[in-house]
Amino acid sequence: MRKSLFSVLLLLSSFAAAAQQPAEDSAGEGKLYIGAGLTNLGYHIYYDEPKSSGAIRSGYFHPISLNFGYKVNERIRVQVGLTYGWSKDSGEWSPGSADTLLYEDYTRTRVVAVPVSGQLVLFKAFRRFPIYGTATLMPAFGSTQAKSTETRHGLVTTTEGEDRGMNVFATAGLGFNYKISNRITGYLE
């Protein structure tokens, strides 16, 4: 029962994981850092006036990021990143006989985003295990190419379109980090 409950909670949660390496300043203290991040949190860009009208989902992406951060003090960190995300979806179906009527849809989404984050350490469970609150504001610029094909009695009709747009995403949550070595720290949010 406990394993099932944990599995359900894990699937319903959104996580971001990163590994970061500090850059030492002149005093030998690591105030600046760089890192990479992955997330299972999906984002969706909505377009104002979409040109494509396919029946499959479009505009979704899961980003990977490269982050640059600054440790203001022992409790506060700020970071900015460069993120890229993408997705491809396709499908085909026939409401009746496949040789009479067939629909095919294909979409490809690409997104570049610039997340700006702040982290505040709330308390330290152990010396290497601080728990923190985090908030991120992420403007994202994306485009989706869509192609729809209708085949009716051997006659093929194809429509193509491209949508471009920008959205701003705001997220907040809790996280913890663990100092793996003197140079690498792992994060889970």
CA 116 to CA 100: how far, in whole Å?
Answer: 52
User: Would you state the pLDDT for residue 157?
Assistant: 86
In a domain, 143, yes or no: yes
- pLDDT tens digits, residue range 160-169? 888 899 999 9
Q: Identify the band that residue 28 occupies on the pLDDT scale cut at 50, 70 and 90.
A: very low
**Residue 173 falls within a domain, yes or no?**
yes
Q: In the predicted model, is pLDDT for residue 134 greater than 60?
A: yes
- Residue 135's domain spans which residues? 18-188
Residue 99 has what pLDDT?
64
Number of domains comprising the chain: 1
Domain-embedded: residue 10: no
Instruction: Name which of 8-22, 77-91, 102-116, 126-140 the model is least confident about.
Output: 8-22
Q: What is the CA radius of gyration of the chain?
A: 22
pLDDT (mean) for 38-42: 85
pLDDT at 29 (0 to 100): 54
pLDDT in tens, 66-112: 999 999 998 999 999 999 999 998 888 777 765 667 788 888 999 99
pLDDT score of 17 more than 80: no
Task: Assess if residue 11 is contained within a domain.
Answer: no
Contacts of 107 (CB under 8 A, 6+ apart): 52, 54, 56, 57, 58, 87, 88, 89, 90, 144, 145, 146, 147
- Domain membership of residue 7 (yes or no) is no
List pLDDT tens digits, range 50-71: 776 656 667 889 899 999 999 9
CB atoms within 10 A of CB 163: 21
Question: What does the DSSP 8-state code read for residue 72?
Answer: -
- Name which of 62, 59, 142 is nearest 107 in CA terms: 59
In a domain, 126, yes or no: yes
